[in-house]
Amino acid sequence: MSEYVRIFDTTLRDGEQCPGATMNLEEKLRVARQLAMLNVDVIEAGFPIASKDDFEAVKTIAGEIDGPEIAGLCRCLPKDIERGWQAVKGARRPRLHIFLATSKIHMQYKLKKAEDEILRQAVEMTKYAAAQCPNVEFSPEDASRTERTFLAEVVEAVIAAGATTVNIPDTVGYAVPWEYGETIAYLRTHVKNINGAILSAHCHDDLGLAVANSLAAVANGARQVEVAVNGLGERAGNCALEEIVMAIKTRREVLGVDTRINTQQIMAASRLVSQITGFPVPPNKAIVGANAFKHEAGIHQHGVLAHRATYEIMSPEHIGLNAEEIAQSLVLGKHSGHHAFEKRLKDLGYQLGAEEIARALERFKEVADKKKVIYDEDLHAIVEDVVATGARPTYTIEYLSVTAGSHLIPTATVRLRKGKRVVQRAATGDGPVDAVFSAISSITRVKGELLDYAIRSVTSGREAMGEVTVKVKYKERTYTGIGASTDVIEASAKAYLNCLNRIL
């Protein structure tokens, strides 16, 4: 029987630290529910001391999500640990995750402490955390750049102090697989009480090696891997959940381990996180990219038609896709009814309430009147357009008109509704989109700094829907908004208003 590797998901903590990926409470709950459906072992719900919003999010998730352990991240400080425990204590299975840097560069320049001080603080704070929560994870930050003898000393001491999991972070993505694997092996042979805790791997992707390093750790005895959906995270991101899980599943006979992940929920999780954060998944992304199971070359098509295993090492059904649906993306038209529409959304991994389905169906009908063919990509854009903004946005668009030309000053007239109040404004700009943004800002009285504007065609052809993503900076925070329409000006207005609604 294969050994069991625990999957510790940090999408809501390390993943949310990715610039522009901030989520509100409702969005965090949606992700947490999906992670529970994935059957992850641990959800790191946030950093409770970081802010009031982070504390409330961790506390709410701890109280509402059943199944996975719920962890809160804490520095090795009494105030952090106390705040963390207040946030997670309502969970059925709480965990405190404490960390302290151990590398020379961190000790010298960041902490300004010697090894004996770091060791003493690590032990004292582990005991302090264990006195409140019996499930304590300790991370020696920047472990991959820590001298192995000192790292082993710290690991042995915190296990003796009550740590039940010891995580070995490659905090800056510096390690290479054989080196990181050797570190795990070294700890297993040089730490006397190593069997008293689970060894964990937390790898960043700065050199594109997060998954490879995590697999090297597993091969050398690590039995927990810390991951994020779509590899989201600081800088270049974390080890991608979908990649490590499917690598273990696909190469089980080589690795000799398994996970408890319900892999058929992987695609639903990937799409949800992409939708909420506004970070599109690259088409060539392993496992969850749009092209991951598509074949264009004639020789590949011939092989797949003869036997799918000739060019597919895993089944698309295993991650929640249907092979035939991938081959034929044409799914719905304007004559499709409510039941077919709802079933297709479920097949695509969406879990929507009755009100959200009704709003999505109404939007679908509007698009279907303008397009002869509705593709799965259109459906994703429709759902993002009507759901990602939330069920009750502060402002909604009632009317939009734009005039522009080579000899005209671009002018936009926008009418927005806020509850029973309707306000209309006109504005000019450097172009039609700028004019629309100015009119919306005039009505809402919120003007952020536009950091990024991106538009892409959801499908091909003259009738294709356009999806616009905008990033706006407001009071030192970055907000992301998405809008979709067959009219790119309308899509731009929706995306920008989505951002302002998030701010408000």
pLDDT for 425-477, tens place per residue? 999 999 999 999 999 999 999 888 888 898 887 666 666 778 888 888 888 88
Q: How far is CA 447 from the centre of its chain?
A: 27
Examine the domain organization and report whether 178 and 205 are in the same domain: yes
Examine the domain organization and report whether 309 and 257 are in the same domain: no
- In this predicted model, which residue has the larger pLDDT, 302 or 287? 287
How confident is the model at residue 36, as a pLDDT? 98
Examine the domain organization and report whether 310 and 273 are in the same domain: no
Give every CB contact of residue 442 below 8 A, 6+ residues apart in sequence: 425, 427
Is the residue at 378 inside a domain?
Answer: no
State the Cα–Cα distance between residues 463 and 468, nearest whole angstrom: 16
Beta-sheet strands, E only, within 105-195: 136-141, 165-170
- In this predicted model, which residue has the larger pLDDT, 341 or 208? 208
- In this predicted model, which residue has the larger pLDDT, 416 or 364? 416
Stretch (H or E) spanning 44: strand 42-46
State the Cα–Cα distance between residues 458 and 461, nearest whole angstrom: 10
How confident is the model at residue 389, as a pLDDT? 53
How confident is the model at residue 478, as a pLDDT? 84
Mean pLDDT of all residues belonging to the chain: 88
How confident is the model at residue 495, as a pLDDT? 87
Predicted TM-score (pTM) of the model is 0.76
Alpha-carbon distance values, 102 to 118, 147, 168 (Å): 7, 9, 11
Place of tokens 């993943």: 15
Is the residue at 450 inside a domain?
Answer: yes
Examine the domain organization and report whether 273 and 318 are in the same domain: no
Strands 449-457 and 466-474: antiparallel
Examine the domain organization and report whether 177 and 130 are in the same domain: yes
267-276, 369-378, 391-400, 405-414, range with the lowest pLDDT? 369-378
Is the residue at 110 inside a domain?
Answer: yes
pLDDT tens-place string over residues 77-89: 999 999 999 999 9
pLDDT tens-place string over residues 181-192: 999 999 999 999
Examine the domain organization and report whether 94 and 21 are in the same domain: yes
Half-sphere exposure in the Cβ direction for 375 (13 Å, CA):
14
Examine the domain organization and report whether 48 and 108 are in the same domain: yes
- In this predicted model, which residue has the larger pLDDT, 80 or 18? 80
pLDDT beyond 80 at 341: no
Examine the domain organization and report whether 62 and 134 are in the same domain: yes
Is the residue at 18 inside a domain?
Answer: yes
How confident is the model at residue 335, as a pLDDT? 60
Cβ atoms 110, 101 nearer than 8 A: yes
H-assigned helices in 220-337? 241-250, 252-255, 266-277, 298-306, 323-327
Is the residue at 363 inside a domain?
Answer: no
Residue at which a domain ends, from 250, 277, 304? 277
Q: Bridge partners of 69?
A: 42
Examine the domain organization and report whether 270 and 301 are in the same domain: no
Q: Which two tokens stand for residue 154?
A: 């710290």
User: How much is the average pLDDT of 8-23?
Assistant: 88
pLDDT beyond 80 at 391: no
pLDDT beyond 90 at 307: no
Query: At 271, which CATH number?
Result: 3.20.20.70
How confident is the model at residue 363, as a pLDDT? 74
Farthest-apart Cα atoms in the chain, separation: 80
What is the residue range of 314's domain? Answer: 293-328
pLDDT band with cut points at 50, 70 and 90 for residue 294: low
Domain count, the chain: 3
How confident is the model at residue 188, as a pLDDT? 98
How confident is the model at residue 390, as a pLDDT? 54
H-assigned helices in 13-51? 25-38
pLDDT tens-place string over residues 102-135: 999 999 999 999 999 999 999 999 999 999 999 9
Alpha-carbon distance values, 159 to 80, 94, 154, 228 (Å): 20, 18, 9, 26
How confident is the model at residue 204, as a pLDDT? 97
49-53, 332-336, 406-410, 446-450, range with the lowest pLDDT? 332-336
User: How much is the average pLDDT of 410-439?
Assistant: 92
Examine the domain organization and report whether 268 and 300 are in the same domain: no
Please return the burial class of 39, using the count of CB atoms within 10 Å of its CB with bins 0-12, 13-18 and 19+.
Answer: middle
Is the residue at 368 inside a domain?
Answer: no
Cβ atoms 288, 230 nearer than 8 A: yes
**Closest listed residue to residue 46, CA positions, set 85, 93, 13:** 13
DSSP letter (8 states) at residue 251: T
Place of tokens 């102090």: 161
- In this predicted model, which residue has the larger pLDDT, 381 or 293? 381
Is the residue at 102 inside a domain?
Answer: yes
Query: At 423, which CATH number?
Result: 3.30.160.270
Q: Which two tokens stand for residue 280?
A: 């599109």
pLDDT band with cut points at 50, 70 and 90 for residue 19: confident
**Closest listed residue to residue 133, CA positions, set 104, 169, 91:** 91
Cβ atoms 243, 286 nearer than 8 A: yes
Is the residue at 341 inside a domain?
Answer: no
Examine the domain organization and report whether 267 and 400 are in the same domain: no
34-38, 175-179, 296-300, 466-470, range with the lowest pLDDT? 296-300
How confident is the model at residue 77, as a pLDDT? 98
Examine the domain organization and report whether 105 and 209 are in the same domain: yes
pLDDT tens-place string over residues 197-249: 999 999 999 999 999 999 999 999 999 999 999 999 999 999 999 999 999 99
